[in-house]
């Protein structure tokens, strides 16, 4: 019982450390987006041009009654829109001290380590309990013989 409380405490502490570390990291990261244009595989496109395949796909779906090719084309154009948003996003870390950086890393990876330790631990007590339960089940089957024999025994005991 004491181990279970210790594991629960470790799990909760790990989750809290992980959340606090990720929160501090999110406060130290700056995100911006370029306006109007993005570059993909060496070509530069305006953000309005990326909507043309989507419009064509939607019109094609309504005209053909939702054919498979029109659905695939529309799905690919939505994927292209998502890729264009991601490509035009800039993410960078603001200037922080070494102490802050080490604190962030210890909180994130220490918390993740505690959570992983609790989730992926192989407890000896569970393995021993599992073997004992299997042995007890085997003994019961040996004693019972068959279901019919057990039902007959139960009927006799009820009388």
pLDDT at 1: 45
The residue that leads in pLDDT, 125 or 116, is 116
Strands 29-33, 89-93: pairing is antiparallel
The residue that leads in pLDDT, 123 or 78, is 78
- According to DSSP, the residues that pair with 32 across neighbouring strands are 90
Q: How far apart are CA 153 and CA 67, in angstroms?
A: 67
pLDDT at 91: 84
E strands within the chain?
29-33, 37-40, 43-46, 89-93
pLDDT at 67: 85
Question: How many Cβ atoms sit within 10 Å of the Cβ of residue 106?
Answer: 13
Mean pLDDT, residues 98-102 taken together: 93
Residue 15 pLDDT class (50, 70, 90 cuts): very high
Average pLDDT, the chain: 80
Q: Give the start-to-end residue ranges of the domains of the chain.
A: 2-121, 122-159
pLDDT > 70? residue 24: yes
Mean pLDDT, residues 145-154 taken together: 74
pLDDT > 60? residue 6: yes
Cβ-count burial of 87 within 10 angstroms (0-12 exposed, 13-18 middle, 19+ buried)? Answer: middle
């Amino acid at each position: 019982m004491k181990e279970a409380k210790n594991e629960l405490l470790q799990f909760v502490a790990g989750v809290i450390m992980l959340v606090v570390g990720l929160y501090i990291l999110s406060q130290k990261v700056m995100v911006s987006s370029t306006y109007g244009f993005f570059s993909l595989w060496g070509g530069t496109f305006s953000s309005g041009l990326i909507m043309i395949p989507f419009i064509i796909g939607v019109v094609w779906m309504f005209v053909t009654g939702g054919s498979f090719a029109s659905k695939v084309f529309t799905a690919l154009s939505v994927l292209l829109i998502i890729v264009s948003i991601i490509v035009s996003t800039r993410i960078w870390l603001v200037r922080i001290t070494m102490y802050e950086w080490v604190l962030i890393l210890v909180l994130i990876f220490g918390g993740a380590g505690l959570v992983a330790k609790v989730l992926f631990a192989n407890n000896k007590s569970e393995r021993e309990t599992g073997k004992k339960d299997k042995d007890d089940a085997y003994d019961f089957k040996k004693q019972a013989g068959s279901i019919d024999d057990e039902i007959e025994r139960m009927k006799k005991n009820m009388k």
